[in-house]
Amino acid sequence: METVHGRLTIFVNGRARQVSAASTLGELAVDFGLDARCLLVELNCQTLLREEWPGRTLQHGDRVEFIRVVAGG
């Protein structure tokens, strides 16, 4: 797979998505309208700390899993 016209393909929760080649994981979460306070993120099967998201640039073929954390009783 190659970057085409400054875009790349990643997989978000199992579905292919086109994103800008310069996108970060933090930007992706914002684009999806997700609240970082209630979210866990796995990138290529590795759980990342919230502090890592803004600086983690996405690569072609990356697999991102957004997992919403719900508390209750």
Cβ-in-10-Å burial (0-12, 13-18, 19+) of 66 comes to middle
The end-to-end CA distance of the chain, in Å, is 45
Q: Please tell me the total number of residues recorded for the chain in this structure.
A: 73
Per-residue pLDDT of the chain (73 residues; tens, 9 = 90+): 455 678 999 999 999 999 999 999 999 999 999 988 899 999 999 999 999 999 999 999 999 999 998 877 6
Number of H helices, E strands in the chain: 1, 5
- Which domains, and CATH codes, for the chain? 7-68 (3.10.20.30)
The pLDDT of residue 3: 58
